[in-house]
Amino acid sequence: MGPHLDQFAAAGAEARRAMLRGIVAGGELEDPAWRAAFEAVPRHLFVPYYYVTGTSGPERLWCEDPDPARRAQWLHGAYADGALATRIRDGELVSSSSQPSLMARMLEELDIRDGHTVLEIGAGTGYNAALLAHRLGDDAVTTMDLDPEITESARNHLAAAGYHPAVITGDGARGCPERGPYDRIIVTCTLPSVPQAWLAQCRPQARILAPFATGLILLRVCPSPHGPYAEGRFLHTPAYFVPLRGAPPPVRHPHTGGVPRRVAENELFRFLQTLTGTTLDPREALSLWQREKRPERERFGITLRDGRQWAWLDDPEGPYAWPLIAG
């Protein structure tokens, strides 16, 4: 954390209000409690530097750049409604700060209430954890990441902003049972499957919201005589996040033979292919796509039950179902 970030407080507050107005105008943050959180938490404290695309590769913008114009560019970007690349390693993006309007949508979809406890998988910069801590209090929030550099950085950012939730270094796929049980789990990295370990750490009727394929799956955890199960549908919203580190990469069919280019490049068709993995070859995916009249994300869902998990179209027990690798 740079020592001079406090000099941006006034300009940051004005930029933060402008960002908030834009998010609200876009239809998000209907809950006054979340509007208050976004207004109070200074995003620029969580991104003292980030990377933008330069003429010869990633270019760093940072708060202590000696050039006033570049410092102003950094502050403007910190409050733009866009994702920010905050950590690049060996040319690969390993951590980012998500688009604020998408964060707002995800937080509202969680339907968080006073007294809830939340586990966040993927600490990132700590900004999302700060929003949660502002809404619920420090003791109700646990955020974790596999990378100790990321958790240390997030912890410092949070402290600078006046928040002190639990920041845990560990494998997010295993959760954090010692801090549970949780009413909500929010994930800020793309999953190859939904870890079964999370279900045992949830209270009945808990919600899990996670990026999966190129969408957001919202699961409800329910009790049963055979142990908790989870089921839910995808939101309409597209979402692209950094993959969960430590998890095996999802298996995908590498070919697009027989699929017209205009279909292969369609964002929803790519979602279908990513979700079904190698279960459907390109021609089978195309046949389903045409037969079901280009199904939207909301028609798809995921079920975890009895140690199995599968994706489905329209009905968990219907004819269109594809096994997922158990997490």
Helix H or strand E encompassing 78: helix 68-78
Give the C-alpha separation, 78 to 96, whole Å: 12
Residue labelled with tokens 């114009």:
69
User: What's at 19, amino acid-wise?
Assistant: M
Residue indicated by tokens 């999966």: 212
Task: Give the span between the Cα atoms of 249 and 7, in whole angstroms.
Answer: 43
Residue 35 tokens read as: 């509007």
- Structure tokens that stand for 217 in this block: 């799956």
Q: Specify which residues 321 forms β-bridges with.
A: 312
Tokens describing residue 171? 């494998």
Closest CA to 132 of 159, 156, 99, 110: 110
Cα–Cα distance, 166 to 1 (Å, whole number): 19
Q: Is 72 helix (H, G, I), strand (E, B) or coil?
A: helix
Rg (CA), the chain: 20
Residue holding tokens 């970030």?
5
Let me know: does 29 contact 66? Beta carbons within 8 Å: no
Residue with tokens 């902003």: 161
Task: Note if 95 is an active site residue.
Answer: yes
Nearest to 198 by CA among 209, 211, 213: 209
CB 234 within 8 A of CB 300: yes
76: amino acid identity, one letter: H
The tokens for 59 are 């270019």
The catalytically annotated residue of 95, 96, 98, 153 is: 95
> What are the residues facing 308 on neighbouring strands?
305
Residues carrying an active site annotation: 95
